[in-house]
Amino acid sequence: MTLWDRLRRRVTALELPQVARLGEQLARRRDPLARLGGDMKHGDEPLHFIASDRMAMPIGDIAEIETGDRDPRQLASLTVARPPRITANVLGLLGATPALPPFYSEIQLQRRRLRDRAMAAFVNIFDHRALSFFWRAVAKYNWTVNAERADGRAAGPVVPDPISGALLAFGGFATPAMRDRLAIDDAALVRLAHHFADTRRSAAGLELVLRRLTGLDVRVIEAEPVWMALPQGEQTRIGSVATARFARLGGTDPLTGLGAADAALIGAAVLDIQHHFVIAIGPLDWPALVDFCGNGGPRRVIGEICRLYAGLEYTPQLRLAIAGADVRPVRLGDPGVPAWLGRTCWLGDAGPALRQDCQLAIEPI
């Protein structure tokens, strides 16, 4: 049983936009650029509309659906079928609710009793055009239809539909230069545009965005302490005036009230908490862990979204967890068990406990 056969069984419950949408979807399976109500000949339309000329009170939008007949103009080919014909009870020139005076409907009924279809065929040209315009108006302001049509508009980069374009602009992706720059399709950001539009970025928001885009069990750990190495030029040097740097003991900056800008510093690293957070993922199985450590999987997506959502001033890191029972023993030279120090290598028996000491840096974009 075809789709049209199922629709015929419940024709009284159908609405005109619903039937037109299904007909256009079926036509796009053969031609991705197929459109209903476009600037083409009547015979080339994927669907034909006919307004009912009957005088009975209509029950619904659709009076009848006809399919399967051969086109009499294609007698040389038995494989060419006439497009489906949808008889509608709305927007007709004749019938129970006509646009023309009732006198014309009476003439049409008389001609039909005499089996003269000339007047009906002439009127149907205008009925089809009016009903097609109605469908075009519905499709123009219906976001679901616009989204369905977006992928087949033209070859090359996908042009977002107006609703998706507005939501992307709401999230900060209004100009073409801001689009098609991520590892994921921009269409995945449409349903998350409200998170990017909120200037009050939060760990909970980043966690939700990453979970939606990757499908992984992601947790964001804030204020992760990290030792940051100081360049030699910023380390304290004691000696002569020419070589001494950052050697002042005590004192405060009169402008900020904090420590002096040239105060002495002990050590070659500082502990920073403010600008670091951790993306904890897992527990993963062994193939997923190896994929992550080899710059595969959604690692690039996570890095790009973290930079995009949190900003360049923050430095995220990945912390991958794997069950101890899934850890494989190290075998040097075995490509199936890569021995990456600090990532996939554990000394001795890992045991059943969860291992969470595989930490990867997210490289800057």
Whether 195 maps to a domain, the answer reads no
- Per-residue pLDDT tens over the stretch 287-322: 777 777 776 668 888 888 888 888 888 888 888 887
One domain, residues 54 and 129: yes
One domain, residues 128 and 248: no
One domain, residues 247 and 306: no
Whether 196 maps to a domain, the answer reads no
**What is the distance between the alpha carbons of residues 30 and 87, in angstroms, rounded to a whole number?**
24
Whether 350 maps to a domain, the answer reads yes
At residue 156, the pLDDT reads 42
One domain, residues 10 and 112: yes
Contacts of 101 (CB under 8 A, 6+ apart): none
User: What is the residue whose two structure tokens read 């997210």?
Assistant: 362
pTM of the complete model: 0.56
Whether 199 maps to a domain, the answer reads no
One domain, residues 71 and 121: yes
- Among 141, 171, 192, the domain-final residue is 141
User: What is the residue whose two structure tokens read 């294609």?
Assistant: 74
Q: Which amino acid is at 65?
A: I
Composition of the chain by helix, strand, coil, percent to 5: 35, 15, 45
Q: Domain range holding 95?
A: 3-141
One domain, residues 85 and 135: yes
One domain, residues 137 and 240: no
- Among 111, 141, 171, the domain-final residue is 141
CB 112 within 8 A of CB 101: no
Q: Which of the pair, 29 or 246, is modelled with greater confidence? A: 29
Count of domains forming the chain: 3
CB 87 within 8 A of CB 53: no
Whether 352 maps to a domain, the answer reads yes
One domain, residues 337 and 251: no
**What is the distance between the alpha carbons of residues 43 and 160, in angstroms, rounded to a whole number?**
30
| The Cα angle at residue 311 between residues 305 and 313, in degrees rounded to 5 | 135
- Per-residue pLDDT tens over the stretch 218-251: 889 888 888 888 887 777 777 655 555 676 666 6
**What is the distance between the alpha carbons of residues 348 and 365, in angstroms, rounded to a whole number?**
37
Residue 128 in tokens: 């089809």
CB 116 within 8 A of CB 105: no
- Going by pLDDT thresholds of 50, 70 and 90, the confidence category of residue 208 is very high
At residue 357, the pLDDT reads 60
One domain, residues 41 and 133: yes
One domain, residues 69 and 101: yes
One domain, residues 120 and 32: yes
- Per-residue pLDDT tens over the stretch 257-282: 555 666 777 788 888 888 888 888 87
* Beta-sheet pairing, 276-284 with 315-323: parallel
Cα-based distances in Å from 344 to 33, 196, 237, 338? 50, 35, 40, 7
One domain, residues 241 and 312: no
Average pLDDT score over residue span 143-163? 61
Whether 184 maps to a domain, the answer reads no
* Beta-sheet pairing, 85-88 with 62-66: antiparallel
Arithmetic mean of pLDDT over the chain: 78
Residue 352 in tokens: 């059943």
